[in-house]
Amino acid sequence: MPTNSATIRRYEEVRERVAEAAVKGGTDPERVILVAVTKNASISQVRELIEHGHVDFGESRMQHFIQFEAQVADFLERHRELGGRGGTIPEEVRWHFIGHLQRNKVRKILSLTTLIHSVDSLRLAEEIQSCPGREEGKKTQVLIQVNTASERGKHGIAPPATSHLIDQIADLPDIRVRGLMCMAPNIEDPEALRPIFVRTRELFNEIAESGAAGSQFNILSMGMSGDFELALECGANVVRIGSAIFGTSSEESGEPVPAGDLLSS
Ligand SMILES: *Cc1c(COP(=O)(O)O)cnc(C)c1O
pLDDT in tens, 18-29: 999 999 999 999
Q: How far is the CA of 141 from the centre of ligand 1 (A)?
A: 20
* pLDDT single digits (tens) 41-70: 999 999 999 999 999 999 999 999 999 999
Q: What is the pLDDT of residue 265?
A: 41
Per-residue pLDDT, averaged over 6-21, amounts to 97
Domains of the chain: 6-260 (3.20.20.10)
The whole model's pTM is what?
0.91
187 pLDDT above the threshold of 80: yes
What's the pLDDT at 215?
87
Q: Which residue's alpha carbon is nearest to atom 12 within ligand 1?
A: 98
Mutate to test the pocket of ligand 1, among 40, 60, 221 (most ligand atoms within 8 A of CB): 60
Say if CB 39 and CB 64 are below 8 A apart: yes
Per the DSSP assignment, residues forming a β-bridge with 181 are 145, 221
Residues with CB under 6 A from ligand 1: 37, 39, 60, 98-99, 183, 224-226, 240-244
Q: How far apart are the C-alpha atoms of 206 and 208, rounded to whole Å?
A: 6
Closest CA to 223 of 242, 246, 240, 205: 240
What pLDDT sits at residue 250? 53
pLDDT of residue 2: 52
Q: Is the pLDDT of residue 170 over 60?
A: yes
> Per-residue b/e over 79-109, b at no fewer than 16 CB within 10 Å?
beeeeeeeeebeeebebbbbbbbeeebbeeb
Predicted confidence at residue 248, as pLDDT, reads 84
Atom of ligand 1 nearest to the CA of 99: 13
Q: Pick from 198, 232, 227, 213: which is nearest to 18 by CA? A: 232
Contacts of 20 (CB under 8 A, 6+ apart): 229
Average pLDDT over residues 100-125: 95
What would the pLDDT profile of 131-146 be if each residue is shown by its tens digit?
Answer: 987 878 889 999 999 9
* Tens-digit pLDDT profile for residues 199-249: 999 999 999 999 988 889 999 999 999 999 999 999 999 999 999 999 986
Distance between CA atoms of residues 253 and 248, nearest Å: 9
Query: pLDDT-derived band of residue 85, with 50, 70 and 90 as boundaries?
Result: low
User: Nearest-CA neighbor of 62 among 101, 115, 113?
Assistant: 101
The pLDDT of 156-184, averaged and rounded, is 96
pLDDT of residue 261: 53
| Inter-residue contact 180 to 203 (CB < 8 Å) | yes
